[in-house]
Structure 1
Amino acid sequence: MGYLICILLYIAGIIIYGIVMGKKKVKTSDDFVVAGRQLPFMILIGTLLASWCGGGGITGSASVVYLYGPVVGTLHFAGAPIGMLLLYFISSKVRSSTKITVPEVFAARYGDGASIIAVICIMLAYVGLCATQIKAAGNIISLITGMDANLATVLSAVGILLLTVSGGMISVAYTDAVSALLMVGGFLLAIPLLIGRAGGWSEAMAAIPAERLTGTGGLGVIAILGYMIPTISLLLGDQNMMQRFASAKSAEEAKKSNLGLFAAEITVCVLIILMCTIGIALFPSLDVPSNIIFSLAVNYLPFVLGAIVLVACVAFIVTTADSYLLSAATNVTYDVWGKYLNKNADDKQKIHFMRITILVLTVLAVVLTLFFPTILSLQMTAYTMYGAAITPALLFALFSKKVTKAGGIAGILTGGVVTVVWTMVLNSPYGIASAIVAVPAAVVVILLVSALTGFKGEETYRRLYENSKS
């Protein structure tokens, strides 16, 4: 019960902070969505890290380390730093654009039809990603209280909902930064104690089954790539990242913050891998592998430190879920409701509609948790949906003047349809992850259709940067 009290106090604190910041700082829809484009450098790094490394990293990805060993875990986590290095060349481009959302970019380059298709694909992906966070938070509460997992999931969703609707990006960004600091500090203190509990590093490694110390952990190369490619492809086109880069004070600040994010992500990945590797030795058999970090905190750490780790985990989960809800609600509000249904909506109406949308998306995310048995399966499917349907078309939109409207639309449809068919209909034949098929298929279709339609898109390319302010 003590752990739950600590978690509830922290969540209550950030919700109150969000409400206060929302009343003081949120005056326009621009404030709600991109924090008035005035986030400082360190806050930007913190919110970028927390928005990326949330429930998926400390549950689904952590279970990969636990099940297949530190080498496979490292390869799995490597997808994010690789993507961030590539993202360095995109960040200033995004901040220089006058667009806030991915569908806005698609509308400028590929037309309104592409924009609507993108909203649908992003909604499917982000509701799925939000569901992973809600399910992870529910797992923590269920583990430390014995509460029914479904009830714990609903309670987690309520807390996530309240923080998101309170202040938008203003409240999310600053609480993200605090959560990131808490996470890194808690893990740094916990790891030496856990190594001692295992009898030292050499004893811990000796207790790990030999197969989990191999380069493949019993998996094939295709299976390992199936864990890496969805991460890279999602990160390169993640609208969460776009919104945060758009929140920076300038294009240069956005680019610098990406380097800070790279360093922070490496640090967090190493800490998670170390904790989960020690966890293999301390928990030779665990019924729910995604609970490995939470189980270590409850069973092997002193109460105060265990509480810090659990609070940090919940904080990361909550802020990541907030980010996906806010981003998806922004799409619905700006790219559908405000564009087609209520073109004359003022800022107050936009914020009100966005909050209603966040509520609806939260309910859908809770429902989705019932259909996926594990966080990892839900995480990888959602990553691939976004990475295949959105990222290839987005990168071509930002960097290629020759990609055509038909090519872009065909690529979006191909990525989304192949992901659904390969995963839901064919059940990933031969054990091949959908990302390995869907992402290359989308790229090939964009290039092929653009070549066949033969139109150069310099005019639509320029629309992305008209009236931009750095």
Structure 2
Amino acid sequence: MIDWYGTAGILVFYSIILGVGVWAGTKKKNNGEEEVMLAGRSIGRTVGILTLIATWAGGAYFTGIAESFFTTGLLWCQMPFGYSFNLAVGALLFAKPMREAGYITMLDPFQEKYGSRIGGLLFLPAFMGDILILAATLSALGVSLEVILDISNYWSVTISTMFAAAYTITGGLYSVTYTDVLQLMFMVFGLLLSFPFAINNVQYYPNDSPNSTSTSTIDWIGHVEPKDYVFWVEQMLILVFGGIVNQSFFQRILSLKPSLDAFNISLISATVCFLLAIPAASFGIVAKLVDWSKIPSWYSET
């Protein structure tokens, strides 16, 4: 059964996002590549920090952290550490030289050194990476809307994609940046708003249950089997270094005003990105305390 109040709230939210995206598009002075792709290199400090955070701290970030903490514990909850180090390493090694060279995309230095053919070849893995990241984000969004509103995952993803495409086409990076900020604020507000309800409605295991979840018996940390050591390290390295070769990161760095210190802005973003993992992990903590056999819609095999 569709939750009409929830549906109305989602429609209002989407309308606000679309409105802000269209409004931000009015800041675009022309259709030149720097204006469309880098917002004329005019993004200020506060917006720059928030949009860099939003590059990684999206739906997949928050839901993934909660799920990882719930299913496998802290040791396998790698995203907060990996993505934060990712922003820090990107700031340390690439922010300053890329900005000083006046590049527009992350592929420009390769094309400058090796020619347009190599640049075109390197575009293919970059393109595929963006497609896969987009798929993960839309999947997280679709699942969230499916649970909250009881509507089809297919329609959740389709409608969300149409809205995002509409404001992106309208205003380029201006629209993307300002909607990034707004969406991040909504997500953080939503996490803080919903947590008291989650913690106050936990269906705890009874004390005499063999599965009683006394906080002293819960495996909060998790463990890494010896056979998984290499896999764990590989996953962390992918998070730390794999995200650097992502146009979204460089697009935000290169769009900042020339007078701003991109290095410090990136480090601030890395710190805040890590701190935002705390409210998300809190939901994983709550989930570990729940007696899921009392939840009618819970299917342990899924």
Normalised by the size of structure 1, how large is the TM-score?
A: 0.55
Q: Distance in 2 between matches of 1:265 and 1:54?
A: 10
Equivalent residues of 1:138, 1:155 under 8 A apart: no
Task: Tell whether 2:275 aligns with 1:267.
Answer: yes
Query: Per-residue CA shift, 1:427-452, capped at 9, x if unaligned?
Result: xxxxxxxxxxxxxxxxxxxxxxxxxx
* Alpha-carbon contact 2:24-2:178 (below 8 Å) kept: no
Aligned residue among 247, 268, 279 for 2:287: 279
Unaligned runs of 5+ in 1: 291-470
Counterpart residue number, 1:248: 256
CA separation in 2, counterparts of 1:240 and 1:95?
15
Which residues of 2 match residues 145-164 of structure 1 at below 5 A? 145-164=149-168
User: 1:403-414 maps to which residues of 2 (within 5 A)?
Assistant: none
Aligned to 1:28: 31
Superposed counterparts of 1:172-191, under 5 Å = 172-191=176-195
Counterpart of 2:257, as a letter, is K
Deviation at 1:233, TM superposition (A): 1.5
SS in 2 for 1:236: coil
CA separation of 1:164 and 1:208: change in aligned 2, threshold 3 A: farther
Which letter maps to 1:220? D
Unaligned 5+ segments in structure 2 are none
Partner in structure 2 of residue 15 of structure 1: 18
Q: Which amino acid aligns with 1:259?
A: L
Contact kept, 8 Å, 2:104 with 2:254, in 1: the verdict is: yes
Question: Where do residues 299-314 of structure 1 align in structure 2 (5 Å cutoff)?
Answer: none
Q: Structure 1's 60 and 114: CA in aligned 2 closer, same or farther, altered over 3 A?
A: farther
Contact kept in structure 2, 1:4 and 1:141, CA below 8 Å: no
Could you tell me whether the CA contact under 8 Å between 1:46 and 1:178 is conserved in 2? no
Whole-Å separation in 1 of the counterparts to 2:259 and 2:245:
17
Q: Is the 8 A contact 1:70 1:277 kept in 2?
A: no
In 2: Cα distance, 1:17 partner to 1:83 partner: 29
Residue 155 to residue 209, structure 1, CA distance change in 2 (3 Å): farther
Candidates 253, 258, 280, aligned match of 2:266:
258
- 1:356-396 per-position Cα deviation (integer Å, ceiling 9, x unaligned): xxxxxxxxxxxxxxxxxxxxxxxxxxxxxxxxxxxxxxxxx
CA distance in 1, matches of 2:27, 2:103: 26
Q: Which residue of 2 aligns with 1:77?
A: 80
**Residue in 1 aligned with 2:91?**
88
Matching of residues 276-355 of structure 1 within 5 Å: 276-282=284-290, 284=292, 286-287=298-299
> Displacement of 1:152 after TM fit?
2.5
**8 Å contact 1:101–1:239 — kept in the other structure?**
yes
Once the 2 structures are TM-superposed, how far is the Cα of residue 163 of structure 1 from its aligned partner? 2.3
Partner secondary structure for residue 28 of structure 1: coil
In the alignment, the residues of structure 2 paired with residue 280 and residue 257 of structure 1 have an alpha-carbon distance, to the nearest angstrom, of 36
Aligned-residue CA RMSD in angstroms? 2.9
Report how many residues are paired: 287
What SS is found at the alignment partner of 1:216? coil
Residue of 122, 147, 168 corresponding to 1:118: 122
SS of residue matched to 1:184: helix
Whether 2:107 is the aligned partner of 1:99: answer no
Greater relative contact order (Cα < 8 A, sep 6+)? 2
SS in 1 for 2:244: helix
Structure 1 window deviating more from structure 2 (183-192 vs 233-242): it is 183-192
Q: How far has the Cα of 1:218 moved from its partner?
A: 9.8
Alignment deviations for residues 237-279 of structure 1 (CA, whole Å, 9 cap, x no partner): 3221111111111264322211220121011112211222212
| Paired letter, 1:14 | I
Deviation at 1:131, TM superposition (A): 1.3
1:198 to 1:151, Cα distance in 2 relative to 1, 3 A: closer
Q: Return the structure number with greater helix share.
A: 1
